[in-house]
Structure 1
């Protein structure tokens, strides 16, 4: 698109390049500048960060840039004016292609309207204009049909995994180290370039929090933080760094503040905040760094807000608004490293989706079965947990895979189940089936099947007649038997994580969830999830040396509440932080707030503390700013919400 622009194609006279910090906008402009020189195109590049303090500052910057390019013959520095600069540009454009590019356009801010009307509008279409900034264009750029038609948008994105691998290969970085770098840098261009320059010893221990690697991530994060010019946004960033995704409601709950639409809007406009459906999230690279930084700086506050996140999703799950997403977020915030590693793998490397099979998909299921029967070698997959830098390995032996092929992968054996039991994991680009989950609904239609088939029969055969009747229902589903979670590429942690994540809706099913496995990895996960081993339901269908217990989780009726309470026992809520710690009050500020809570006015506080009333007023101003309230009434209410004993 930019090459079309400098080539003079009329439909590319105004181009906007947009992307988050470190994505490569400046590098791209420099590359285009070089290509322009090869084509004898005048390329005038202005730094928006230094040139847009005022119209006169921009005019002066433009004047000297034109002078540098020899485009101001007949003008002197004593006659600097915007009109003269624009006239010189138009004259030059009669004999050659002229490009005016502005980098860091986000710094134009209040001068945006002036620049559009006073500079861009007079220059078009004779001069090509390229704007590069972190935020999308707003205001008249999008409200005016004329400007909307004129602008060509170029959104820069991070590298995907294959592009990242290709880039790192140029630096002769090994496959193992490429995987490590991808986990931390993803495809962020600036981070990749800085990490690639690190010594191999630092890359090798990057997941152990190497100092040099930490300095790289900090420098990138600091670059993003330059966008933050509102002190109220610091608390938003801290709270959001704990969350995988957020909206205004959850941030307000975590910060214990009234929703402020203006501040939230300003927050979501930052380039490292991205919209995903009905929610927002921080750029993952930025979020990982800020969460670790927050925990180091103020571990108490970090722990408090983490506890509030757990309470928020717990409250939602106890309400009528609960969803499978709430369950997923609750498990994430509980912080069990095995669950986080297995269920919350980053999916930016590949694009997957899971769909419930319909009759038309059964041919794909059959094809999957055929491919799967050809795979029987031993395999292992590593699940990496970012926060703790823990790697959890799932190993499956060749003997187990051969036996699973014998027991399961015969589609004729499953036709009576219909398509309802199958879910397919597909590649978003090709639509190819790369994974399969089989979750059998338990009802009158399937109970005989489950009583006779390997793996499931051990449980159902040991039930009494009365217990079997509870499953033998015709008007609803009494529970679910998780029979299979499988991927064609057994080493693909992201694919397996995506399939596992799709199991969260079962927790809202109101039934009983059953699973049987001899594999230690899944046995540990089931224990962490709160499943209980069923006495007398262990079988040896996978071999005499492979005991396979059956596990049960009962979430019927009121049991869901009991289950949630048991789940949270290991992370019992810690005492709230004191207001003094949370808001970083000085000793004098603490004393003033204590007196405010006792009903003292400023004059009384001054006498009590032997200071002037002016001094008290100055302290009160700082206190209100720290607590983010507007007056002492709101201050008292905020302190009372913190249980009224702010300094104990």
Structure 2
């Protein structure tokens, strides 16, 4: 039989994939097991998740179909996922198209950016698919426990957590990349089993034999040798181009020209230089830096030269705002704008710094008593009664954040104005001011208006908590679904001193005086997205986020507890909340609480601002913890 180029490609993929034999075998067994429904593959950036996925999809049995989506290209809404599947399958009926093969593997890479639809994927999409479909979800974050514990899922799920390669497999990988014994030993001393670092160290050793690099230590990528491995062999112009590209989600030649403020020749040379780098992927949209490289280089620039980074972000925002996207490309521009924002409340909607700790899903009838108890605990009786009327009239407007055992930890209530019974609004003392504002400033007929009637956490009330934050994140999914016609959002706040710093920077403003109900004052607020809907709002947030620099005042590190100082040092090294928790042997939730406290005490809003302040004042060397023994902070 004649050999084809496809045969050669498959053989080459198998030959160059080294070090994950056990994980590869387990994933391939799951793909072929008719009792399995989904595989959840997760691990830190650069750990080899995508390579494992690609290797698992080679040499599948005859008759097996494969569909692969990249989460970065998918709008994080149910409609966006369906549209992406329709494009990939070339069919309008997704369920029918996926059921045409005896076995169909649906793989979603970079799944961490689709957190807004994780519950929908588990409760709606996957259950609707034929039993012949096997789904592989690949991302940085460990999946929520509901994938294992929700009724019916036990025994249907395979989970693979990828970590650093053991020394013998790392050595095999380096030798397979052409390194001699001595070079392989030096390279692994640097990489410590991290696959991306191994590949880059191998490329560096081939290009510059005998090069010595500092090991990647538990202190994180920046103080170790990884940053130098990314940029060490670049010219001055090459490093500038890489730093400019790391400021944006992806880069085209026109975008790079705008960010660098360069002429056509210089921009073309910079783009071509980037395209040749081993950690840069060419896509149909442009060049995409590996996310570990982008995060590492971008964080370093934010600490070392914040003013230059602000210039890059400002130019990128102006370029994106000045180029209206095609109708079928709305999500790409939205995602590009969101990437430029450093306000964590907004940025975490699509680029979360940590996995939400609670599952948010539509409320069920049996949640009624728990919702009522939360309302009675935190609201005056007449307001709790109004919420009960909402539950009777519009239960579909409630969503709940659940603890691991399924109990309701928080709820949020959100509805479209046109779908609500007007009499219910008139009888609700908290909602009545919205009607007065709408009567005085009526929206256009084609503009949609959302009412976020109330959110409450079981323990925190309206104040921020992990469960409440998960509810807020779910509201952002609604923003995405309703653009470009979404124009306004109305809500109400009681504790303005503590919630104002969160809501006011997002553009919320009072609609009028507060309403006193049984001794509690409810301040009605609204958010006007503007004529360009969500994208116009994001563009304004980018401008304000770039132009407003934190003013830490006279604060010093004595304001921080000893543990917060350690967290600050690790944060400045570029570690995520999850990695900080692993390094200090605390939970991700505890690490996130320390980070939030640090922001408050230092008067900053982003991790880069906190890191820059600590570096400028010389706090880091005094407080960096010395325990731990892993790669990128994982013990």
Q: So what's the TM-score if we normalise by structure 2? A: 0.44
- Considering only CA atoms, is the larger Rg found in Structure 1 or Structure 2? 1
Higher relative contact order (CA 8 A, sep 6+): 2
